[in-house]
Amino acid sequence: MQLIACPWCGPREEVEFHYGGQAHVPYPDSPAELSDEEWAHYVFFRDNPKGRFAERWNHSAGCRRWFNAIRDTATYRFERVYRLDDPKPGVTELARSREEGTAP
């Protein structure tokens, strides 16, 4: 079974985790000013890339805390896990951690 590295608990089996979909989708700054189309995009539309994807995960059967991960949707490989208050890692940073072998 695939192991997922919880930022707090370390590597645990996939069944302990709950998927939370795309990460970094902020609540609209001025909700009252949104058009129907903008609301539709906030509520229903999410990215669906084949490849690297920034996602939310919850360690629901462990520490029960949310975290973010960069995962490749074609290979299912986790490239990075990071805390919710960390910024989304850039491409160069991910490449560097892969070279240095520090990716989880």
Partner 1 sequence: MSPRTPGADLPEHPDRLWRDAEPKRSYDVVIVGGGGHGLATAHYLAKNHGITNVAVLEKGWLAGGNMARNTTIIRSNYLWDESSAIYEHALKLWEGLEEDLGYPILFSQRGVLNLAHTLQDVRDSVRRVEANKLNGVDAEWLEPDEVRKVCPVVNTSTDIRYPVLGATYQPRAGIAKHDYVAWGFARRADEAGVDLVQDCEVTGFTTDGNRVTGVRTTRGTIGAGTVALCAAGHTSVLTGMLGIRVPVQSHPLQALVSELLEPVHPTVVMSNAVHVYVSQAHKGELVMGAGVDSYNGYGQRGAFHVIERQMAAAVELFPVFARAHLLRTWGGIVDVSPDASPIVGRTPYDNVYLNCGWGTGGFKATPGIGSALAYTIAHDEPHPYVAPFTLDRFVTGALVDEHGAAAVAH
Burial state string for 8-20 with b = 16 or more CB within 10 A and e = fewer than 16: eeeebeeebbeee
* Binding of residue 61 to partner 1 (CB under 8 A): no
Q: Which is nearer to partner 1, 43 or 91 (CB)?
A: 43
From candidates 7, 54, 71, 79, binder to partner 1 by CB under 8 A:
71
- CB of residue 96 to partner 1, shortest distance in Å: 25
CA–CA distance, 104 with 97 (Å, rounded to integer): 9
CB of 2 to partner 1, least distance (A): 7
Q: Which of 24, 25, 31, 45 binds partner 1 (CB under 8 A)?
A: 45
Question: Of 24-32, 74-82, 83-91, 93-101, which part binds partner 1 (CB under 8 A)?
Answer: 74-82
Q: Are strands 3-6 and 10-13 parallel, antiparallel or unpaired?
A: antiparallel
Which residues contact partner 1 (rule: CB under 8 A)? 1-2, 14-15, 18-19, 21, 36-37, 40-41, 43-46, 48-50, 53, 55, 71, 73-76
